[in-house]
Amino acid sequence: MARHKICLLGGTGFVGKRLAARLSEAGHDIVILTRYATRHRDLLVLPTVRLVEGDVHHADFLRQQLKGRDTVINLIGILNEKGRSGKGFRRAHAELPEKIIEASREAGVHRLLHMSALHAARTAPSHYLRTKALGEEAVHRAENPDFHVTSFRPSVIFGPGDGFLNRFAGLLRLAPGVFPLACPGARFQPVYIEDVVRVFADSLDNHQTFGQRYDLCGPKIYRLREIVEYVVKLINKRVCVVGLPDGLSYLQAAMLEFAPGKPFSLDNYRSLQIDSICEKGFPEVFGITTTSLEEIAPGYLHR
Ligand SMILES: NC(=O)c1ccc[n+]([C@@H]2O[C@H](COP(=O)([O-])OP(=O)(O)OC[C@H]3O[C@@H](n4cnc5c(N)ncnc54)[C@H](OP(=O)(O)O)[C@@H]3O)[C@@H](O)[C@H]2O)c1
C-alpha cells in the first residue's frame, strides 16, 4: 500500500481522532489543521501526525498547507450554528469545500475524501442537510482524471467519545426521574466509528471508489426512544423516558436553541423529520460486516 502525504481537516474531532490514529498506524504522513493546536496535543502521540494551527477558511493558509500533500480529507462539520440564518452552516459545509477544491487545484493535490451526511439534499428540511448537499455537489463537480473524489454519508456515528449516546447518557444522569424526549419516533441506523474510519482508509487507493458517494449505516434500525431507553439501561439509572408529541418536540427545540451550548435546535428538529436510515446495505466494495451498537456501547457507557 502506498504511503500518502495527507492533510486532514477536522482531524481533532470525534471522527478525526480515530481516523488520524488509523492512518498513522498505516504509516501515512498526516498534517492536521486546527484552530486550537494546544487543545489537541494528545494527537501528537501518534508518530506520523503534525498539528498546524490556522484558519482553514483563509485561502493562503490552506494552499500553503496543501502544498506537497497528495491527499486532502475534509471532516469539518457543525451540528449547530451561531444564530439561525444558515450562514454558519453554509460557511462550514458549502463554502469550505469550494475553498478546498480551489486550494487543492493550486497545490497539485490529486485525491479528496469528503465527509457529508446521510440524506443530504438541496430539498432537505434543515440547513444542516441542505448545506451538506451543496458541499457534496461542489466536491463531486471537481472530479477529473487528475483529481479523484469520494464522499461518505453516514447515519449517526457511535463509539467511545461520541456526541450521541454520551450526550443522552449525560442528560439522563442529571434527569430527575422523568426525561422528556423530542422526536421519539425518529429512526436511526447507527454506524460504528471504527467501521467509518476503515472505509475512509480503505478508499485512499481503491480506484473503484473514485467519484463515488457512499451511504454508511450500521446493521440495525432503531427508533430514538429505543436508543434512549437502551442508554437508560446501560447507565443503570431509574428514569422514565416520555416521548413528546410533535408540537411539544418543536417547542422543546425552540426553547433549547437559547440554552447555553444549544443542546437541541429547530434545525436539529428539522433534520429529525427525515429518518436517518439507509435504503441499501453497507457498500459491498468495502467487504465489511458492520458492528452493532450492542457489541460496543456497553463498553463505554456502562458504569
Ligand atoms: N458524529 C456523527 O454522528 C456524524 C454523523 C454524520 C456525519 N457526520 C459528519 O462527520 C464530520 C465529523 O464529525 P465529528 O462528530 O467528528 O465532529 P466534531 O467532533 O464536532 O469535530 C468537528 C471538527 O471540525 C472542526 N471545526 C468545527 N467547526 C469549525 C469551523 N468553524 N472552522 C474550522 N474547523 C471547524 C473542528 O476542528 P478544531 O476545533 O480543531 O478547529 C473539529 O475537528 C462532520 O462533517 C459531521 O457533519 C458526523
pLDDT one-digit tens code per residue, 64-98: 999 999 999 999 999 999 988 999 999 999 999 99
Residue nearest to atom 12 of ligand 1 (CA): 75
* Residue 164 pLDDT greater than 80, yes or no: yes
Query: Which tens digits make up the pLDDT trace of 4-37?
Result: 999 999 999 999 999 999 999 999 999 999 999 9
Give the residue, out of 41, 76, 217, 272, with the most ligand 1 atoms within 8 A of its beta carbon, to mutate for a pocket test: 76
Identify the band that residue 2 occupies on the pLDDT scale cut at 50, 70 and 90: confident
Q: How far is the CA of 148 from the centre of ligand 1 (A)?
A: 22
Q: Which residues pair with 149 in a beta bridge?
A: 112
pLDDT of residue 47: 95
Q: What is the mean pLDDT of residues 166-175?
A: 96
Q: How many CB atoms lie within 10 A of CB 294?
A: 11
Domains of the chain by residue range: 5-155+191-216, 165-187+220-301
Q: In the 3-class helix/strand/coil scheme, how is 116-163 assigned residue by residue?
A: CCCCCCCCCCCHHHHHHHHHHHHHHHCCECCEEEEEEEECCEECCCCC
Q: Which of 21, 38, 56, 12 is nearest to 200 (CA)?
A: 21
Q: What is the mean pLDDT of residues 185-192?
A: 98
Cell of 219: 446493521
* Residue 303 pLDDT greater than 90, yes or no: no
Task: Say what the pTM is.
Answer: 0.98
Cell of 217: 449505516
* Residue 1 pLDDT greater than 80, yes or no: no
Ligand 1 atom closest to the Cα of residue 128 is 47
Superfamily classification of domain 5-155+191-216 = NAD(P)-binding Rossmann-like Domain (3.40.50.720)
